[in-house]
């Protein structure tokens, strides 16, 4: 009996020692996961508080869809986490090519219909290829740069990366969707900086980006609505209807005080005075209803997420993982800054959603997939 007991393998219950420290299942970053979960839950409450008075007869219309999106996005994240991120490197060209094809198809459909289109209407949902482009362009760029194992990005490699980023960026601008195009460019700048690109290369990307956007405006490729937004930001358009949304968003944040006016008690954010607030200006709802404290808590959660992503980047087993984390870090930082900035009137209104907080299925799915990639890097850092 004693010999049988000694020969018995450990069971798989609590205290199981069969899995090695390098087992991916034992290396989930629970702090990042909990932070992401907290942001998503807060987002659902914010979406409800910003939309419940806008839909006659069904105050839960938007938040119900947001919860369904969150559940679907969680499934996507688990799938991405369970796969070694090297799997995406091997299929980077296929994913990138499919995304470019979808962007071209969307533009052709818009031209045929004589309309500006930024999404495919798939019955109950609208699918935005620009959101997918953030994910696939990141993978393609990181895979391309990781092939060159040096401390500095060579000029030929930089040009190749510029083309990879430039193609989807131009196609997204032509939709037109300047906000999403800015995110793709920002991702590229973050990855190239970490990869060791020279400052003059980053300056070149910045110049080309500004020149491309300026050409789009001068060439009439940008619709009147986005031109109006830029004129409002520059103070060249004082029409009451043009500044209505931004002015009330600023007022909502400013009148919230320290503690806010209470959930569902905001005169501006619950009174239909900030159009499409649940998608574009959720920070205004947080500011008016939860005040400075609520805004500080929300931004602190984003800071924690950024710190964890940066930590994972430094612990990555290879350059590919580091580059992926750098891209996600830059993307998250830029979108939070841009969304808060346009709510406070210090940045032009671009329609960029606040990650995990704004209403929208495409954005939520992509961010969960991105964070799944970061988790995959962390889970396999010891292999």
Q: Each residue of 118-141: pLDDT tens digit?
A: 778 777 777 888 999 999 999 999
User: Given pLDDT bands bounded at 50, 70 and 90, which one contains residue 230?
Assistant: low
What was the pLDDT predicted at 220? Answer: 62
Residue 126 gets which letter from DSSP? E
Statement: residue 253 has pLDDT above 80: yes
What is residue 78's three-state secondary structure?
Answer: helix
Q: Each residue of 310-322: pLDDT tens digit?
A: 999 999 989 999 9
| 115 vs 88, more confident | 88
What was the pLDDT predicted at 37? Answer: 96
**pTM above 0.75?**
yes
Residue 281 gets which letter from DSSP? -
**Percent of residues, the chain, with pLDDT higher than 70:** 85
Compute the distance between CA of residue 29 and CA of residue 44 in angstroms, rounded to an integer.
23
- Return the domain boundaries, the chain: 68-237+295-379
* Length of the chain counted residue by residue: 383
What is residue 125's three-state secondary structure?
Answer: strand
User: Given pLDDT bands bounded at 50, 70 and 90, which one contains residue 229?
Assistant: low
| 17 vs 182, more confident | 182
- Alpha-carbon Rg for the chain, nearest whole angstrom, is 22
Statement: residue 10 has pLDDT above 70: no
Question: Can you list the pairs that 105-108 forms with residues at least 24 positions away whose Cβ atoms lie under 8 Å?
Answer: 106/175, 107/171, 107/174, 107/175
Compute the distance between CA of residue 138 and CA of residue 124 in angstroms, rounded to an integer.
28
């Amino acid at each position: 009996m004693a010999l049988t007991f000694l020969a018995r393998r450990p069971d798989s219950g609590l205290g199981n020692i069969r899995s090695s420290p390098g087992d991916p299942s034992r290396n989930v970053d629970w702090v990042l996961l909990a932070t992401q979960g907290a942001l998503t839950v807060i987002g659902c409450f914010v979406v409800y508080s910003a939309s419940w008075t806008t839909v006659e007869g069904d105050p839960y219309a938007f938040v119900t869809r947001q919860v369904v999106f969150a559940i679907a996005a969680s499934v996507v994240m688990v799938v991405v986490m369970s796969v070694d991120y090297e799997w995406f490197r091997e299929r980077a060209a296929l994913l990138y090519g499919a995304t470019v094809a979808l962007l071209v198809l969307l533009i052709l459909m818009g031209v045929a219909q004589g309309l500006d289109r930024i999404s495919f209407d798939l019955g109950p949902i609208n699918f935005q290829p620009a959101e997918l482009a953030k994910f696939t362009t990141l993978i393609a760029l990181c895979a391309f740069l990781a092939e060159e194992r040096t401390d500095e990005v060579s000029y030929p490699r930089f040009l190749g990366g510029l083309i990879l980023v430039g193609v989807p960026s131009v196609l997204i601008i032509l939709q037109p969707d300047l906000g999403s195009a800015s995110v793709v460019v920002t991702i590229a700048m973050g990855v190239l900086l970490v990869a060791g690109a020279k400052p003059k290369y980053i300056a070149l990307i910045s110049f080309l980006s500004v020149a491309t956007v300026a050409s789009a405006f001068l060439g009439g490729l940008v619709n009147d609505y986005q031109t109006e937004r830029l004129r409002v930001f520059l103070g060249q358009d004082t029409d009451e209807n043009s500044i209505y949304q931004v002015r009330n968003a600023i007022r909502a944040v400013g009148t919230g005080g320290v503690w806010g006016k209470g959930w569902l008690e905001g005169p501006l954010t619950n009174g239909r005075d900030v159009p499409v607030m649940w998608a574009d200006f959720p920070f205004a709802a947080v500011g008016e209803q939860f005040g400075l404290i609520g805004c500080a808590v929300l931004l602190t959660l984003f800071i924690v997420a950024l710190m964890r992503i940066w930590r994972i980047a430094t612990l990555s087993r290879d350059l590919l993982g580091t580059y992926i984390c750098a891209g996600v870090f830059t993307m998250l930082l830029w979108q939070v800054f841009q969304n808060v900035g346009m709510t406070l009137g210090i940045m032009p209104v671009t329609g960029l959603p606040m990650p995990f907080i704004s209403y929208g299925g495409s954005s939520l799915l992509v961010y969960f997939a991105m964070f799944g990639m970061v988790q995959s890097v962390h889970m396999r850092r010891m292999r």
